[in-house]
Amino acid sequence: MNEINTIEKKRGKAYIALFVTIFIVSMFIAGYLIGGTLSYSTTASSETKQLQQQLETQQKSNNAATQNIIYVYNDTSLAQLYQNVRDSVVVIYGLAPQQSFFGTQYAEVQGSGFVYEYNNENIVITNKHVVDGASDITVTFSNGNAYPATVLGSDDYSDLAVLSVQAPVDEYHPLEIVSSSTLNVGEPVIAIGSPFGLGGTMTTGIVSQLGRTIQDSVAGNFLVANIIQTSVPINPGNSGGPLLNYQGDIVGITTAIIQNSNGLGFAIPSNTILREIQSLVTTGSYDQHSWLGISGADMKYSIAQAMNINVTYGWLITQVTSGGAADNAGLKGGDHQVRINGERTLIGGDIIIAIDGTRIINGDFLMSYLEEYTIPNQIITVTIVRNSQILDISIQLGTRPAST
């Protein structure tokens, strides 16, 4: 009996020792886990705070940099350039007659322009189509002051107009006009005008191409040639405003856009202004646009195949105007039609490939060369392809007839 009691006592002590051991081990493991978790949490919290501080510091630095951005090109601040020229750009308003079911109605027209000094006289230059047929023309300066204006002169074939404004001398801040001959594709340019009536709007872009031709409402059946193509955003109301280089000098006049296009704007080059300004101011018109008296189409590979020739560039003459310069010199138009890519094309005429040794790639090159480098009555040498033979023909240029 005593032995049994002794054994039970020993067994009870063993259970207690085992329980204590398990309890101590459990507490040790729990403490380790809790301590590790607290240590990790403290470390993560510290790293998070450091990261947040770094982000806040970087954000403050970025904000400070953003607030101090100055857009420059070749050391030119665009903001400063705008301040220098903004007072030279004006908004032009007028009333244009429109025919309706109720008879003649008058609608307000609006465009842009800029101040220029010619022979000690302050004038405003704009597009012809801005003021074409308009009455009650007014010019509003950047300070909001508006004055009546009249048209001194205009030219349909360059879409130019010159205005005289009844404003005091201190309103005028004339700009300089420089030659557009030095322009290159890729050079940055600026337009300032009043798109949709939003006066003083400045946009930037580049010269996309030179020597384009466009159809203009005031030029009738003729094309306006030697045009600057630009990526500068142009909208209705920009017409007549200045196209400037990054020195703030005029290199053109923003003129037209192609509807539903993206980045296709056009401007009259400054060389056209410089060539015509005297005549527009003193006589009210300009009549020195040379004329060949032909119509045609750009050459391309498919036309060359149809004509069985190996010339794929130049301008194919389709028709020659009777009594015109080309007719007098013996140039020939097309003599039969063929279907090319689903369209009927008149072929068989002479192909102009050069003028005075300058290669003519297409119609844009042809008309832009005539506009930039020739005048009426000038004799030029035209190189043509006729029946697979290359011929040089002298032509005395005529004068473009009135637009219709």
Catalytic residues: 129, 159, 239
Q: What is the dihedral of CA 231, 235, 240, 243, to 10 degrees?
A: -20
C-alpha 286: how far from chain center: 27
Q: How many CB atoms neighbour CB 64 within 10 A? A: 9
Token pair listed for 191: 């337009």
Report the alpha-carbon distance of residue 31 to residue 91 in Å, rounded. Answer: 82
- Which two structure tokens, joined as six digits, stand for 9? 């006592």
- 293 sits in the region (left: phi over 0; alpha: psi -120 to 50; else beta) called left
- Residues found in the chain: 404
Quote the CA–CA distance of 292 and 223 in Å, as a whole number. Answer: 13
Whether 94 contacts 161, CB under 8 Å: no
Indicate if the alpha-carbon torsion angle 176, 162, 227, 324 is positive or negative.
Answer: negative
Sequence-distant (6+) residues with CB within 8 A of 357 are 381, 383
Q: Give CA–CA dist 194/297, Å, rounded.
A: 37
By the 10 Å C-beta count (0-12 exposed, 13-18 middle, 19+ buried), 160 is classed as buried
d(CA 151, CA 263): 31
**Within 13 Å, how many C-alpha atoms sit on residue 138's CB side?**
10
Do 320 and 326 meet the contact criterion of CB atoms below 8 Å apart? Answer: yes
